[in-house]
Chains A and B, each alone.
Chain A
Amino acid sequence: MILLEVTSPGNVSLVLFFGTIGMLALTIGLIVFIIFHQRKVIRYQLKLQRMEQDQQKLLLNASIRLQEEERQRIAADLHDDAGPLLATARLYLNENLVNLDKTTQLQSIYNAKQIIDDTIQLIRNISHSLMPPTLKNFGLESAVNDLFQKISGSGSMNASSRFHDYRERLQAETELIIFRVIQELVNNILKHSNASFIHLTQNTSGDKFFIRLHHDGRGITQNDFNKLNKSNVGLGLKNIQSRLKVLHGKIFFEKDMSQTYYKVTIELVKEEEDKLQEQD
């Protein structure tokens, strides 16, 4: 009503006309803005979704390729090592054996036994590479210590590990995933870094479980990791990422404050582990 008081009678029609036009323009403008803004937001969300799908596809491809490589390796081990050994054993135990003299028979049986023992050992090794018995029977701490002792024993690198807070074992599935990730990381360090030492520490903080790996060789930072993850190379790193995704874990690659060491941190939430247990 203040508007009525300030408007002179002659201007009423003009104010009414332009006021109405102005209000309508504002309203229509606002509606159009809302619709276009929403379309823009939806387009952005779709783009994000597509990027996430692409990333998942890359990870899935990496894990399938790795699985195929592992199968090929096992097939090659069986075909190239176990196959010839068993064929040789068969030769020693052929039908003609009964016609030979006793000493030759005993010698052939002894040789065949030796070859069969070697084959058993070979198959055991293949089986251990698929599922380390130390990990299955004694847990992650023992399996990692065992792995690091073997590396140190080779004399090429000083490897040590220390578990500060591992009184209760994690679920077997989780332990295996963490062990595989550690194996992959150690393998990468051995292959690419020229490091003289690797040191692994484990600790917990609240509901979080940490594993840290230090080495003094050439390493990668988080930026390198992200780039490699998006590219078609870095199969091992993608595999690490997809394994950790199962546990809802995180991995960080960084250079130490002193710029001398590279540090890799694996972070897991214990609650997630509990959830996995509940699902089982």
Chain B
Amino acid sequence: MWVIFLYCILSLLTEVFYFLLKAQSVYSGFTIIEFTLFSFFFYSSLYEKKFKYIPLIGAVVFYAVAIGSFTNKRFDSLPTSVEAILIISYCILLLYEQINDPSIIFVYNTKKFWVIIAFFLYFSATLFLFIYTSALSEKERSNYWPINNFSEMLKNILFCVSFIMRRNPKRPYAVDSYDS
């Protein structure tokens, strides 16, 4: 979970730096750091060895795309889109692993579940926005950008849920409600 906490801190710092420097490269650089942190989270969360290779292969693909299209002038549509697609794929993979894990009785009682949901919703909502941002005019972009802001808020709320969740809840699952 410290990876997610670190991501939140860096995200805040990026906004501050962008406000001060007004350079697009701040966002482009942050995209790479963001993907690295997310990949590390997924790599450490996946427990099946054959699945652990996927974030590594994904990272190679992403770094190639991100370094190849690193720019200071416009929004980095291609790396963010690739990042969104990769993270959505990892989310599905990790959810699949979680529901197949017999030690997890209720998947939504785990911290990881809420982090995955946060990623999943954020990148699903912003995937098309990231793909088309470079093709939009400034006015159109400002019209559509609330999608990103709203998704960010939702993501942060879900992160908060995972942070404040008890590691070992007193009543981890309410079996009684399933007896009917």
Task: Please give the residue numbers on chain A whose beta carbons come within 8 Å of chain B beta carbons, in ascending order.
Answer: 1, 3-4, 7, 9, 12-13, 15-16, 19-20, 23-24, 26-28, 30-31, 34-35, 37-39, 42-43, 46
In the assembled complex, the CB of A1 is this many whole angstroms from the nearest CB of chain B, namely 6
Contact A12 B106 (CB under 8 A): no
Q: For residues 114 through 156 of chain B, which have their beta carbon under 8 Å from a beta carbon of chain A?
A: 117, 120-121, 124-129, 131-132, 134-136, 140, 144, 147
Chain B residue nearest in CB terms to A20: B128
A95→B146 CA distance, assembly (Å): 113
Task: List residues of chain A with CB within 8 A of the CB of B179.
Answer: 46
A20→B144 CA distance, assembly (Å): 11
Number of A-B residue pairs, CB cutoff 8 Å, is 70
Partner of A16, one of B78, B105, B107, B132: B132
Contact B128 A23 (CB under 8 A): yes
Q: A42-B105, A46-B178 are in contact. Are A15 and B124 (CB under 8 A)?
A: no
Chain B residue nearest in CB terms to A13: B140
Chain B residue nearest in CB terms to A3: B131
Contact A38 B178 (CB under 8 A): no
Could you show 7 A-B contacts with beta carbons less than 8 Å apart?
A: A3-B132, A16-B128, A20-B129, A24-B124, A34-B95, A34-B107, A38-B106
Contact A24 B121 (CB under 8 A): yes
Partner of A15, one of B117, B128, B178: B128
Does B99 sit at the interface, judged by CB under 8 A?
A: yes
Does B175 sit at the interface, judged by CB under 8 A?
A: yes
In the assembled complex, the CB of A40 is this many whole angstroms from the nearest CB of chain B, namely 10
6 smallest A-B Cβ distances: which pairs?
A19-B128, A27-B124, A23-B124, A20-B128, A16-B132, A16-B128
Besides A9-B135, A38-B107, 19 more A-B contacts (Cβ < 8 Å) are A1-B81, A4-B134, A7-B132, A13-B140, A15-B128, A16-B128, A16-B144, A19-B127, A19-B131, A20-B126, A20-B128, A23-B125, A23-B128, A30-B92, A30-B95, A34-B95, A35-B107, A42-B178, A43-B178
Task: List residues of chain A with CB within 8 A of the CB of B78.
Answer: 1
Q: A20-B147, A24-B121, A34-B107 are in contact. Are A4 and B135 (CB under 8 A)?
A: yes
Task: List residues of chain A with CB within 8 A of the CB of B125.
Answer: 20, 23-24, 27
Main secondary structure of the interface of A (DSSP, over half): helix
Most buried by B among A1, A3, A28, A43: A1
A15→B95 CA distance, assembly (Å): 28
Contact B140 A46 (CB under 8 A): no
In the assembled complex, the CB of A24 is this many whole angstroms from the nearest CB of chain B, namely 5
Task: List residues of chain A with CB within 8 A of the CB of B140.
Answer: 12-13
In the assembled complex, the CB of A106 is this many whole angstroms from the nearest CB of chain B, namely 78
Partner of A39, one of B81, B117, B127, B178: B178
A26→B178 CA distance, assembly (Å): 27
Contact B147 A27 (CB under 8 A): no
Chain A residue nearest in CB terms to B122: A27
A24→B95 CA distance, assembly (Å): 17
Contact A27 B120 (CB under 8 A): yes
Task: List residues of chain A with CB within 8 A of the CB of B81.
Answer: 1
Contact A12 B132 (CB under 8 A): yes
Chain A residue nearest in CB terms to B102: A45
A16→B77 CA distance, assembly (Å): 14
Task: List residues of chain A with CB within 8 A of the CB of B132.
Answer: 3-4, 7, 12, 15-16
